[in-house]
Amino acid sequence: MLVTKFLVKWVIVLLRLPPWRLICALGIGASNWAYSADDGKVHIEVQVQATELEQPVDYFTSLLVLALNTSKADNEVIDIEFSERDYSQARWIHIAQNDTRALVIWTMTDKEREQQLRPIRIPLFKGLFGYRVFLIRAHEQARFNQIKTREDLAKLLAGQGTHWPDTPILQHNGLRVTTAETTESLFRMINAKRFDYFPRGISEAWFELAQRREKNLEVEANILLYYPTALYFFVNKKNEALAKRIEQGLEMLIDNGKFDEFFYNHPRVSSGLERLTNRHVIYLENPLLPDETPLANPRYWIDLNARNAQARQSIPTSHALHQ
């Protein structure tokens, strides 16, 4: 009888727990990344793909820590462990597939990546990652002034990462692309005139030019490339407890407004948003977009129409394109 009463009480406690805490309480997937320390706290060790906090202002690791600290219990401490070295996207995906420790990577989604890893389907840039401007060599703007269509753009050569989902998306839409393994290699190649333009996300282009102090490159002035996509946190498929923690934290940040506060005030975002009005939009299809992408949920996506209501040209919202 005592055993039965105890089991009933235990089941009631479990049913009241959030999903990620229920998984932890059952001992699923958490034993290799949580431990009790001398300070009386339960320390949650989380590894990230970054080698350090990004300078001058970090985005991904900081947002991850914010989410994990929001969803953690009072007696828990989040310990971030940085990577000893940087790798290509393909290498990070391979590592995350085969490492069951609490490793978190961030990358653009596609069908293959969502089969390989566990996606946390909350867009880290609110869909802004699907809006692309071009890095070009300084004083070459005239080459782009008459480009209005995909066919016009196909006359020029783009540079992209070998294993980036963007590459097959551009190729699917008839655009010419040359590739390199790393972003650093692509910057060297465009400076060496190996290709004509380097499509970069709104959260990347101006931020990277300022960060790198590039004097020979500039952002093309008139064109905005668009294809629906999202950049997510990903973990190993066996780390469901960690995935639930991150998911719960991000949802809580959206609910209390802190996600938008972080997003809109970050230099990665603010440096690009203010420069988006009056651009000619070239639309591309994304055949790699998973069916599970939450395009119909407006809480996850930026509404550029609302933010650019005074602009002469309307810019599509990520979710409105697919209603």
Q: What is the pLDDT of residue 9?
A: 40
Do 277 and 159 lie in one domain? The reply is: yes
Q: What is the pLDDT of residue 2?
A: 38
Please list the rounded mean pLDDT of every run of 10 residues in the chain (323 residues): 38 41 40 64 92 88 97 94 91 93 95 97 95 97 96 98 95 98 95 98 90 91 96 96 97 98 93 87 97 96 74 52 42
Nearest CA to 177 among 160, 202, 190, 155? 160
Q: Which token pair is 37? A: 């320390």
Do 273 and 246 lie in one domain? The reply is: no
Do 240 and 272 lie in one domain? The reply is: no
Nearest CA to 95 among 160, 46, 48? 48
Nearest CA to 127 among 309, 283, 304, 312? 304
Range of the domain at 85: 2-125+233-267
Residue 89 near residue 163, CB atoms below 8 Å: yes
Nearest CA to 227 among 178, 173, 301? 173
Q: What is the pLDDT of residue 6?
A: 35
Do 262 and 272 lie in one domain? The reply is: no
Whether the link from the prior residue into 19 is cis, omega within 30° of 0, is: no
Q: Among positive and negative, which fits the CA dihedral 165, 177, 87, 231? A: negative
Do 107 and 186 lie in one domain? The reply is: no
Do 84 and 26 lie in one domain? The reply is: yes
Do 21 and 165 lie in one domain? The reply is: no
Residue 288 near residue 168, CB atoms below 8 Å: yes
Q: What is the pLDDT of residue 211?
A: 86
- Amino acid at position 62, single letter: S
Q: What is the pLDDT of residue 309?
A: 57
Q: How many CB atoms lie within 10 A of CB 225?
A: 27
Q: What is the pLDDT of residue 38?
A: 67
Exposure on the CB side of residue 307, measured as CA atoms within 13 A: 17
Q: What angle (nearest 5°) sits at the alpha carbon of residue 44, between those of residues 42 and 45?
A: 140
pLDDT in tens, 97-133: 998 889 999 999 999 999 999 999 999 999 999 999 9
Residue 92 near residue 103, CB atoms below 8 Å: no
Do 28 and 175 lie in one domain? The reply is: no
pLDDT in tens, 129-162: 999 999 999 999 999 999 999 999 999 999 999 9
